[in-house]
A and B are shown apart, each in its own frame.
Chain A
Amino acid sequence: MQKLLREWLKIRNMHLFFPYAIGIICAILFVIILIQRALKCRKDGTPFINFKDYHFFIPGYDKIKLWGSLILFILYVIALPRLHFAWASVIFIFLFNVLFDMKPGKPFEFKSVLVSAVIALAGSWGVWYLFYQVFNITLP
């Protein structure tokens, strides 16, 4: 063991020792989790893999809000370096507000859209002013 450690912890190898060791521990733990699941399934008489009854999302989840928020987030990050931080934020915070406040059957209520616009304008420019002007923090 001492010899092995001496070899592994030589300057040129040192950076690889821990990733391998932790990787092996993770692999062992993963196998233990699988075995525990197999034993539990055998005890309960349920199949090990059951795609039929498996639901990743909660039943009746809000598809528009979940996928919409993910897509808007990606577009927002893409837009940030291309537009000014505050302008990109005004656009996307407005869209996030509209998306999150959408009600089934009545997606675009005038009052809701108006409130979204006010929050987007005030929030984005407010955050820009606070962080960039007052705190001197670098923004995209």
Chain B
Amino acid sequence: MILNLGLALLGTAIGIIFGAIPGMTATMAVAVFLPMTYAFQLVPALYLLLGLYVGGISGGLIPAILINVPGTPSSVCTGFDGYPMARRGESERALKIGITASFLGGMISLIVLALLTPPLAKMAIKFSAIEKFLIILFAMTVIAALSKGSMTKGVFSGFLGVLLSLVGELSMNNRMRMVPDFLKNELRSGFQLLPLLIGLFAICQMFQEAEKGMQSNNLDEGVTVEGAQKFSFSDFKGQWVNVLRSSLFGTFMGILPGVGGSAASLIAYSQAKSFSKHPELMGKGAPEGLIASESSNNGLTGGALVPLLSLGIPGDATTAVLIGAFLLQGIQVGPLFIDQHPDIWNQILLALLACNVLMFVVMFFPIKLISQVVKVRSARMYPIILLMCIVGAYATRSGVMFDVWCLLIFGVLGYVMNKIGLPVAPFLIGFILGGDLEKYFIEAVKGNNYDLAVFFQRPIALVIWVLIAIFLGYSIWDNAKGKTLEKAGIKD
């Protein structure tokens, strides 16, 4: 237990550093440290990775408040009120309000995770190959939602991911497909998840930062962490409804796969503004805006784990990376996970609780020290991150140099995809789900005399079709809204 808590502490602290450096994200932190978990059992690995996840999401508030640059996309609204507070000499107060709101958001999402996942998984146990195929199809519709303003490109990117996942040998007939002769040995089991995701999320980011010249972020001269007005828990007086509402928004946005932290933060912020007694103060340094943004983005952490642990579908890019930890240990997440591994399930809840508490302790008390992280220069961080990425890729199959080349290939691919406007997260989710999509389709069709009508006959299947239709409708509506906002010059 002490080792687990130590790893959670390490993960949380490193996650905060990643979150606090603009350009580095929680997803990147989890991807870079995933290889380290080779040496651990699943439970200690989860303590480390969940620490990175919670720390990474929470750390984003530091630069958002101090330099008005969100450290992570989910802190996008934090600077709206946090930075004006810092400018008027309330940095410490703003940071501590943000940290407390993050903690509360994380705890509320943990309760929802604990209550909602087991019944959802119990329902999913009754699924046959038909429903499993449809659930994955449902997740593919989620891909559409992931790509605000460019739905077709998002779906295209997702299917490219599926296509790439089919490279290699099909275990059902032991035949190879889409593999050139000279790579038969390297690609027998297809492209490996770890080099792919590290390449897409870490190496690609390194190229993007190199393109921008590895610029450092400096504290605004008018901002210091010391402040005349101190933080007090009475700052939360009259804000409990805001905390609860924003946390639940964040959690349910997390459950809807693919919606993402920035959307959760924006929706919670706009709701807080609608319900505020003084909406005119929002955006000018009102603590309630800060509370809404931070409680919603940490609410996302527990929410995103609900579809992962009950259905085996990653809720966001970070949980898509987290699935790699389970795969490394040979554990299948999905409907049977809680029944087959109740101890691991309990440990996940405990780990999330510990990581939230540790995040609060690590950030709240030494906040002046932690704030110095924004001065860390990415030029010095990226070479070490690269080193860790190389180790991770090479260790995937205990020493295949081709996997290191894949790291470079997918890094360049991610860079090019970003340049031509093809979203990367749907590509990764497509790659993760592609193999199962094929397996369940073949099983369902072969088991039912090759009749496609079977996908429309069972009641649960019909319910999933209705969900797919609702979600597709939402995606189309959201996509149209994204385009309207883009035309108006407002970026999500």
- In Å, the complex CA distance between A140 and B437 comes to 35
Say yes or no: B404 contacts A69, CB within 8 Å.
no
Size class of B's contact patch? 35 or more
Say yes or no: B401 contacts A93, CB within 8 Å.
no
Say yes or no: B379 contacts A101, CB within 8 Å.
yes
Say yes or no: B383 contacts A6, CB within 8 Å.
no
Judged by a CB distance under 8 angstroms, whether A5 is at the interface is yes
By a CB distance below 8 angstroms, the chain B residues around A68 are 210
Known contacts A22-B162, A89-B387, A123-B383: A11-B207 contact under CB 8 Å: no
Q: Is the interface of B mostly helix, strand, loop or mixed?
A: helix
Say yes or no: B210 contacts A100, CB within 8 Å.
yes
Give chain A nearest CB distance to B262 CB in angstroms: 21
Interface string of A8-36 (1 = CB under 8 A from B): 01011011111100110110011011001
By a CB distance below 8 angstroms, the chain A residues around B445 are 5, 9
Say yes or no: A16 contacts B382, CB within 8 Å.
no
Say yes or no: A30 contacts B156, CB within 8 Å.
yes
By a CB distance below 8 angstroms, the chain B residues around A74 are 408
Known contacts A2-B450, A62-B212, A140-B404: A33-B156 contact under CB 8 Å: yes
Say yes or no: B438 contacts A65, CB within 8 Å.
no
- In Å, the complex CA distance between A109 and B398 comes to 40
By a CB distance below 8 angstroms, the chain A residues around B173 are 11-12, 14-15
Judged by a CB distance under 8 angstroms, whether A139 is at the interface is yes
Binds A, one of B33-41, B118-126, B311-319, B342-350: B33-41
Give chain A nearest CB distance to B409 CB in angstroms: 11
Judged by a CB distance under 8 angstroms, whether A1 is at the interface is yes
- In Å, the complex CA distance between A93 and B381 comes to 11
Judged by a CB distance under 8 angstroms, whether B465 is at the interface is no
Interface string of A111-126 (1 = CB under 8 A from B): 0000100011001100
Q: Is the interface of A mostly helix, strand, loop or mixed?
A: helix
Judged by a CB distance under 8 angstroms, whether B395 is at the interface is yes
By a CB distance below 8 angstroms, the chain B residues around A139 are 391, 394-395
Interface string of B174-185 (1 = CB under 8 A from A): 011110000000
Most buried by A among B156, B388, B390: B390
Say yes or no: A9 contacts B450, CB within 8 Å.
yes
Give chain B nearest CB distance to A79 CB in angstroms: 11
Known contacts A15-B170, A62-B210, A140-B399: A25-B383 contact under CB 8 Å: no
- In Å, the complex CA distance between A119 and B210 comes to 19
Say yes or no: A5 contacts B452, CB within 8 Å.
yes
By a CB distance below 8 angstroms, the chain A residues around B138 are none
Which A residue sits closest to B37, measured CB to CB? A135
Known contacts A2-B449, A22-B166, A101-B380: A93-B391 contact under CB 8 Å: no
Known contacts A36-B152, A96-B382, A123-B387: A56-B210 contact under CB 8 Å: no
By a CB distance below 8 angstroms, the chain A residues around B210 are 62, 65-66, 68-69, 100
Judged by a CB distance under 8 angstroms, whether A41 is at the interface is no
- In Å, the complex CA distance between A124 and B386 comes to 11
Judged by a CB distance under 8 angstroms, whether B417 is at the interface is no
- In Å, the complex CA distance between A56 and B8 comes to 41
Give chain B nearest CB distance to A87 CB in angstroms: 13
Judged by a CB distance under 8 angstroms, whether A38 is at the interface is no
Judged by a CB distance under 8 angstroms, whether B18 is at the interface is no
Say yes or no: A62 contacts B211, CB within 8 Å.
yes
Which B residue sits closest to A11, measured CB to CB? B173
A residues 54-74 in Cβ contact with B at 8 Å: 56-58, 61-62, 65-66, 68-70, 73-74
- In Å, the complex CA distance between A70 and B203 comes to 10
B residues 18-57 in Cβ contact with A at 8 Å: 35-36, 38-39
Q: Can you name 30 A-B pairs with beta carbons within 8 Å?
A: A1-B452, A2-B452, A5-B450, A6-B450, A14-B170, A18-B437, A18-B438, A18-B441, A22-B162, A22-B163, A26-B163, A29-B152, A36-B152, A57-B419, A58-B212, A62-B211, A65-B213, A66-B207, A66-B211, A68-B210, A77-B401, A89-B387, A100-B380, A100-B383, A101-B379, A119-B380, A124-B387, A131-B395, A135-B36, A140-B394
Top 8 A-B pairs, shortest CB-CB distance: A135-B39, A62-B213, A100-B379, A96-B383, A15-B170, A15-B175, A29-B156, A65-B210
A contact set with B: CB distance below 8 Å = 1-3, 5-6, 9, 11-12, 14-19, 22-23, 25-26, 29-30, 32-33, 36, 56-58, 61-62, 65-66, 68-70, 73-74, 76-77, 80-81, 89, 93, 96-97, 100-101, 115, 119-120, 123-124, 127, 131, 134-140
18 new A-B contacts at CB < 8 Å, known A17-B442, A73-B408: A6-B450, A12-B173, A23-B163, A57-B419, A61-B212, A62-B211, A62-B213, A69-B207, A77-B405, A80-B404, A93-B383, A93-B384, A97-B383, A131-B39, A137-B38, A138-B394, A140-B399, A140-B401
